[in-house]
Amino acid sequence: MENEEKQVSFNWAIIPLLVMITAMSFTIVVFGGDPHIPLIIGTIVSAFIAWKFGFTWNEIEGAIYKGIRLALPAIVIIIMVGIIIGAWIGGGIIATMVYYGLKLISPSLFLVSITIIGAIVSLAIGSSWSTMGTIGVAGMGIGLSMGIPAPMIAGAIISGAYFGDKMSPLSDSTNLAAGVVGVDLFKHIKHMFYTTVPGLIIALAVYWFLGRQFSASSIDDENIANVMTQLEANFVITPWLLLIPAIVIFLVAKKVPALPALTVGVILGFLAQIVVQGGAIGDAVNTLQGGFSIDSGNEMIDSLFNRGGIDAMMYTVSLTIVAMTFGGILENTGMLKAIVDRILKLTKTAKGLLTTAISSAFLTNVTAAEQYISVVVPGRMYVQSFREKRIHPKNLSRAVEDGGTLTSVFVPWNTCAIFIFATLAVHPFEYAPYAILNLVVPFISLVYAWTGFSITPLSEEEFKQLEEADRKAV
């Protein structure tokens, strides 16, 4: 597809991005609309430019479908998380987690506690999305009942979930980063300790400071008591229901793939709604499709528990598909490469190359709207440049994780931010200042790039080994 006569120049490649961002700014900020139409406008412009440079409609259509196919695993997970949220709310599992969370967790330490819990669960199962869709939903209920603002709660949940996701050997994005760069998985994870662990420590310190205003004396005990009373009135609360999330976490920790493990969680939640909560089979089935419905008279409880199901995720699915049509054309017609190549020409030093890799990963999140592309594209494009400047490839794999994986949550049209908005019901612009880990780690990575701290050089022997491996692979 990408031959000499079909290379899109930088000046033309940047146009769809500028048009999309301009349309996005007006639509969201001025008109209060959704991101779908700006992304479609960007797709139309990028398709026209691709056609201008000699791509046939079949090739452009193929680029669109290739982009969508890349997002299909994410779409399936989105749908499954919608189902499991419905099943766990209907089965009383989320209510039980909220109930005991209110009993056990101190308000002043809630933000710290939910970050640590999310980090542990995500580290065990290797999935930030599954963590946010289960533990995260319960955490929102607990925090809101304590009077803690939703953006703070969401930020803490995201920080914990993404710490575990980055550092887990079971994480798909972690394995992808190591794989595309060609570095040992555990060397990659070990190298990320330098940026991610300090990021978590900073996040916990900030959450401890923020949490001081939510001491037990400042919390409305009557509101918490009312929430717990309403939960008891509308659900059967029993610690036995906590076995269901424990089973799902255990299965994934035993390397059962996410979808089968989540399916077990759905089945157990479905049965819990019938057997434990005494619901009808038809109602339990409808909960999986349309979500759970409750009218408790408590606005906070109703907003938290009236959700879940496949239908609730269709906005997210449609936005993911639209975003990937835009990203698919940019990547597969060479426009994204033209943009990154121009950036690379400005890079003369090792510092500049590391800075460029981190920045390019974020830029790819903005343009291609998909976390995986932000890892794959810079990861592959800068491999040779890192080698030529004798910088160990594990520095590149860490850079694309720091700049790509973590920053995906800040781009409202990126699949990760879309998922979080659908799951936690907090807009990216609201939770962004409180997703501390995701905010500080890219800056820590940049500081390391500029100072040279923890930047491992590539020895001559390692360079020869990589060159030999490339020759054998041909």
Q: Dig out the tokens for 57 from the structure.
A: 């409609």
Percent of the chain with pLDDT over 90: 28
Residue 245 lies in a domain: yes
Q: What integer is the mean pLDDT of 393-400?
A: 90
Residue 222 lies in a domain: yes
Contact assessment for residue 147 and residue 162, using Cβ atoms and an 8 Å cutoff: no
Q: Is the pLDDT of residue 231 over 90?
A: no
Strand partners, 391: 457
pTM for this model (two decimals)? 0.71
CA–CA separation, 321 vs 339, rounded Å? 23
Q: pLDDT band at 2, cuts 50/70/90?
A: very low
If one counts every other C-beta atom within 10 angstroms of the C-beta of residue 311, the result is 13
- Residue among 166, 169, 74 at smallest CA distance from 368: 74
Contact assessment for residue 170 and residue 252, using Cβ atoms and an 8 Å cutoff: yes
Question: With b meaning 16 or more CB within 10 Å and e meaning fewer, what string describes 7-35?
Answer: bbeeeebbbbbebbeebbeebbeeeeebb
The answer to which of 184-193, 228-237, 459-468 has the lowest mean pLDDT is 459-468
**Residue 434 confidence (pLDDT):** 96
Residue 44 lies in a domain: no
Contact assessment for residue 112 and residue 437, using Cβ atoms and an 8 Å cutoff: no
CA–CA separation, 207 vs 190, rounded Å? 25
**Residue 456 confidence (pLDDT):** 84
Q: Is the pLDDT of residue 474 over 60?
A: no
Instruction: Report phi then psi at 303, rounded to 5.
Output: -70, -30
Residue 39 lies in a domain: no
Q: What is the pLDDT of residues 325-344, one digit of tens each?
A: 887 898 789 887 787 778 77
Mean pLDDT for all residues in the chain = 83
Residue 231 lies in a domain: yes
Q: What angle do CA 387, 330, 50 make, to 5 degrees?
A: 120
Q: pLDDT band at 3, cuts 50/70/90?
A: very low
If one counts every other C-beta atom within 10 angstroms of the C-beta of residue 379, the result is 29
The residue type at 311: D
Kindly provide the residue ranges of all beta strands, DSSP E only, lying in 284-357, ordered along the sequence.
none
Q: What is the pLDDT of residues 248-282, one digit of tens each?
A: 878 866 777 768 888 998 999 999 999 999 999 99
**Residue 280 confidence (pLDDT):** 92
Residue 247: give the domain boundaries.
72-313
CA–CA separation, 471 vs 95, rounded Å? 58
Burial class (CB in 10 A: 0-12, 13-18, 19+), 388: exposed
Residue 385 lies in a domain: no
- What contacts 224, CB < 8 A, 6 or more positions away? 102, 145, 146
Contact assessment for residue 377 and residue 368, using Cβ atoms and an 8 Å cutoff: yes
Instruction: Say how many domains are in the chain.
Output: 1
Ramachandran bin of 370, using left for φ above 0, alpha for ψ from -120 to 50, beta for the remaining angles: beta
Residue 293 lies in a domain: yes
Strand partners, 457: 391
**Residue 472 confidence (pLDDT):** 59
Q: What is the pLDDT of residues 414-470, one digit of tens each?
A: 888 988 988 888 999 999 999 999 999 999 999 999 998 888 887 777 777 766 666
Half-sphere exposure of 167 (CA within 13 A, CB side): 24
| Residue 236 to residues 47, 91, 227, 295, 339, Cα–Cα distance (Å) | 54, 9, 14, 16, 56
Q: Is the pLDDT of residue 403 over 80?
A: yes
Percent of the chain with pLDDT over 70: 92
If one counts every other C-beta atom within 10 angstroms of the C-beta of residue 378, the result is 31
Q: What integer is the mean pLDDT of 165-169?
A: 81
Contact assessment for residue 212 and residue 458, using Cβ atoms and an 8 Å cutoff: no
Residue 345 lies in a domain: no
Q: What is the pLDDT of residues 30-72, one digit of tens each?
A: 777 777 888 899 899 999 999 999 999 999 999 999 888 877 8
Instruction: Report phi then psi at 457, rounded to 5.
Output: -75, 160
